[in-house]
Every structure is written in C-alpha cells, then in structure tokens.
Structure 1
Amino acid sequence: MAGPQNFEDNLGTWRGRTYLMAVRGTPDYFDPDDFSVNVYYKDAATESSIDIARVDTSHGYTHMDRLFRDPKDKKPVDWDIWEAIDHFEEYWPRYAKQFEKSWG
C-alpha cells in the first residue's frame, strides 16, 4: 500500500488573489479510496489559507463542500479524484466569485 500522495497547483489569479488547489490522496495515488481536493487562497494579512471549495470522501461519501455557504451544504458527487481536479481546474473562478460575493 502506497503512502499519501500530495501536491499543490496554482490555478490562477482573480481580483488580486492567487488561488491554489491542494490535492491529498491515499492509499493508491492513481485510484485513491480517500481523497480531498481543496481550492483556497492565502490571506495576505494573516498568511493563513482560506478554503473556498472542497471535494472529499469524509463523512462516508464523496461530496462537495461549498465553503461560502452554510457548512451543512454538502452536495453529493459521483467523482473520483481526477474528476474533482478537472472540475476545479475549469470552474475555480466561479467559486472564487461566489466566495467573494458571500464573504467579501
């Protein structure tokens, strides 16, 4: 069994913020049972990571957390890790805009 596979990718910049994607998967990198794909930016003032959207397998099923909404808003999705990565590579600007609209 392989150990965790982790990487980060720079998605782009929107309104002065650089958005990143963190990918965590274990045990098998190519088809992990447990994974998370997280879109976030680093707050310039505090240097902390601000999560805006995530797809993960916690809570016993694969779901998307849209972190600009109520935390209970978990949308079930039928995606593997690679589909989640593809989704966020294409749609991260949508989530950045929605996050800013909700939280400023």
Structure 2
Amino acid sequence: MNGELDLELYTISLVRLNTAFQKLNEPEAIELFNQSADDLQTLYEDVLNDLNQDEVNFGEYYPFFENGKRTFPQYIEVLGSIENDNLTEPINKLITIFNNLNKIAGAFPAQQVIE
C-alpha cells in the first residue's frame, strides 16, 4: 500500500456490506458480501504490511482504528446474528476479517496529544 491507508477501498467495502444487509433475502446479497470480504481482506493485508514497515504514518491509522474500535465489534455482532444458510461462508469470512481488524485496533495505541 506504500504506507497509506486505502480509505476508498474501506468505504467501498462498507457500502457493499451495508447494501448486502438491505438485500439479505435476494441472490445479490451473496455477491455483495463476497466482494466486501475480498476488499476488506485486501485492506487488512495492506494494513499488516504497512504496520510492519520501518516507517509508519501513524497519523492515518489513529482515526481509522479509533473509529474501528467502535464499528468493528458492531459489524461482528450484526453479521453473527444473520441466519441465512446461503450466506454462511461469506458471513464467516467477514467476521474473521473484522475480528482481525478489531485485534489490531485494540492493540493500537491511542493518539497522543502533544501540547
């Protein structure tokens, strides 16, 4: 990713995910969940790669993970409550990705305000 958080990819994946929530009983939901999972997996891998570099632009990651500390658990909870056998595989994949992102967010240090 070159040290930059791909917020566009993150936004697109969440738009797809939220659209899938609205279309749970339609065939299109499977593809939307799969696309969102693929995007989020790419983002997760990029984040891991970025955070393992010698120089990291933490300024981009503070707001992302502060937001994630609130939103990732919410997505995990909502995804876990879906009861649709056709969606089990993409739902489980998304839960795994959100759990992984949530672990990083939980371990990510809070932004230090220097006065």
Report which of the two has the higher share of helix.
Answer: 2
Same fold, judged at TM 0.5 (above)? no
**Max radius of gyration: which structure?**
2
- The alignment's TM-score, normalised by the length of structure 1, stands at 0.28
Report which of the two has the higher share of strand.
Answer: 1
